[in-house]
Amino acid sequence: MKNAIKSYGSSDILHKLENKDSLFLCAIASTRISRIPGITGAGATPELTDYTPAADVELVLNGKPQCLPDIAKTIVDGVPTPTPAVITKASVELADIPFLVADAGAAVKPNLPYFKINEEPGGNIKMGKAVKNSKDIFDRGVMLGRTLSKLTDHLVIGESTPAGTTTALGVLTAMGYDVDHKISGSTPENPHKLKHQLVEDGLQAAGFSAGELSSRPFEAVNAVGDPMIPAVAGIAVGSSVPVTLAGGTQMMAVCAIISEAAPDFNFDNLAVATTIFVAEDKNADINYISRQIAGTTVFAVDPEFERSESGLKNYTTGSVKEGVGAGGAMMAAILKGIDVGDIRRKTEDICRRML
Amino acid sequence: MKNAIKSYGSSDILHKLENKDSLFLCAIASTRISRIPGITGAGATPELTDYTPAADVELVLNGKPQCLPDIAKTIVDGVPTPTPAVITKASVELADIPFLVADAGAAVKPNLPYFKINEEPGGNIKMGKAVKNSKDIFDRGVMLGRTLSKLTDHLVIGESTPAGTTTALGVLTAMGYDVDHKISGSTPENPHKLKHQLVEDGLQAAGFSAGELSSRPFEAVNAVGDPMIPAVAGIAVGSSVPVTLAGGTQMMAVCAIISEAAPDFNFDNLAVATTIFVAEDKNADINYISRQIAGTTVFAVDPEFERSESGLKNYTTGSVKEGVGAGGAMMAAILKGIDVGDIRRKTEDICRRML
Mapped to the 3 state alphabet, what secondary structure does A199-238 carry?
HHHHHHHHCCCCCCCCCCHHHHHHHHCCCHHHHHHHHHHH
Which residues from B are below 8 Å from A100, CB to CB?
147
**Secondary structure element (H or E) that encloses residue B202, with its range:** helix B192-206
Residues of chain A in contact with residue B109, where contact means CB-CB under 8 angstroms, are 116
Contact B238, B145 (CB under 8 A): yes
Which residue in B92, B140, B150 has the most chain A C-beta atoms within 10 A of its own C-beta, making it the best mutation to test that interface? B150
| B166/chain A closest Cα distance in angstroms | 27
As a whole number of Å, the CA-based R_g of chain B is 18
Nearest partner of B175 among B95, B90, B233, B117, judged by Cα: B233
From residue A113, give the alpha-carbon distance in Å to each of A24, A297, A308, B53.
15, 33, 33, 19
Per-residue pLDDT reduced to its tens digit, B164-182:
999 999 999 999 999 999 9
Could you tell me the CA-to-CA distances from A353 to A63, A350, B119 in Å, in that order? Answer: 9, 5, 32
**What's phi and psi for B151, nearest 5 deg?**
-105, 0
Three-class SS state of B294: coil
Residue B140 CA to residue B118 CA, distance in Å, equals: 8
- The whole-angstrom separation of Cα A82 and Cα A348 is 10
Give which of B335, B230, B102 is closest to A147, Cα–Cα. B102
Strand partners, B24: B99, B156
Given B99, B113, B117, which is nearest A113 (Cβ)? B117
Provide the number of CB pairs (under 8 Å) joining chain A to chain B. 59
C-alpha–C-alpha distance, residues A177 and A294, integer Å: 12
Chain A nearest CA to B112, separation (Å): 6
**From the list A61, A115, A151, which residue is nearest B143 (CB)?**
A61
CA A248 to centroid of chain Cα atoms: 6
B170's enclosing H/E stretch is helix B164-174
pLDDT in tens, B207-249: 999 999 999 999 999 999 999 999 999 999 999 999 999 999 9
Q: Are A350 and A312 in contact (CB under 8 A)?
A: no
- Which domains are present in chain A? 2-354 (3.40.50.10210)
Length in residues, chain B: 355
Residue type, A246: A
The partner residue sitting opposite B151, judged by closest CB among A109, A141, A151, is A151
- Using the beta-carbon criterion (under 8 Å), do A61 and B100 form an inter-chain contact? no
| pLDDT interval class at A73 (50, 70, 90) | low
**Chain A positions in Cβ-Cβ contact with residue B150 (cut-off 8 Å):** 96, 98
- Distances in whole angstroms, Cα of residue A67 to Cα of each of A53, A81, A98, A112, A208: 10, 19, 22, 11, 38
Q: Sign of dihedral through CA atoms A217, A221, A225, A226?
A: positive
Structure confidence at residue B287 (pLDDT)? 95
Cα A313 to Cα A320: distance, rounded to the nearest angstrom: 11
Query: Which positions in chain B touch A99 (Cβ < 8 Å)?
Result: 147
Q: Pick from A24, A62, A57, A4: which is nearest to A329 by CA?
A: A24
Tell me which residues of chain A, numbers 58 to 87, contact chain B at a CB-CB cutoff of 8 Å: 61-62
- Taking alpha carbons only, the member of A138, A351, A341, A167 closest to residue A234 is A138
From the centroid of its chain, how far is CA B301?
A: 15
Which DSSP string do the residues of B26-65 spell out, in sequence order? EEEE-BGGGGSTTS-SSSSSTGGGGTHHHHHHHHHHHSS-
- What's the pLDDT score for residue A264? 96
Mutate which: B25, B28, B142, B147, vs A, most A CBs within 10 A: B147
Assess B23–A contact: CB distance below 8 Å, yes or no.
yes
Distance separating alpha carbons of residues B284 and B184, to the nearest angstrom: 5
CA A297, chain centre distance (Å): 16
In chain A, whose CA is at the least distance from the CA of B115?
A115
Q: Which residues in chain A have their CB less than 8 angstroms from residue B135's CB?
A: none
pLDDT digits (tens, 9 = 90+) for A292-317: 998 789 999 999 999 998 899 999 99
Tell me whether B100 touches chain A (CB under 8 Å): yes
Distance set, CA A177 to CA A292, B78, B307 (Å): 7, 62, 62
* Residue B119 in contact with partner chain A when CB distance is under 8 A: no
Mutate to test the interface with B, among A120, A151, A153 (most CBs of B within 10 A): A151
Nearest to A163 by CA among A103, A233, A75, A253: A253
Q: Which of B18-22, B79-83, B140-144 has the lowest mean pLDDT?
A: B79-83
* A115: closest chain B residue by CA: B115
Q: What is the pLDDT of residue B78?
A: 76
CA–CA dist A131, A137 (Å, integer)? 10
* Cα-to-chain-centroid distance, residue A88: 12
**C-alpha dist (Å) from residue B192 to A250, B122, B159:** 58, 21, 21
> Does pLDDT of A5 surpass 70?
yes
Find, in chain B, the residue whose alpha carbon is nearest to that of A96.
Answer: B150
B118 or A3, which is more confident: B118
Mean pLDDT of B145-161: 96
pLDDT, position B72? 55
Q: Which residue in B100, B109, B150 is closest to A147 by CB distance? A: B100
Q: From the CA of B109, how many Å to the nearest CA of chain A?
A: 10
Q: How confident is the model at residue B313 (pLDDT cuts 50, 70, 90)?
A: very high
- Closest residue in B to A234 (Cα) is B113
- Banded pLDDT at A70 (limits 50, 70, 90): low
Split at pLDDT 50, 70, 90, the class of A9 is: confident
Residue B163: what are its φ and ψ, rounded to 5°?
A: 70, 15
Question: CA angle, corner A84, sides to A82 and A86, nearest 5?
Answer: 75
For A147, the closest of B98, B141, B144 (CB atoms) is B98
Distance CA B125, CA B312 (A): 32
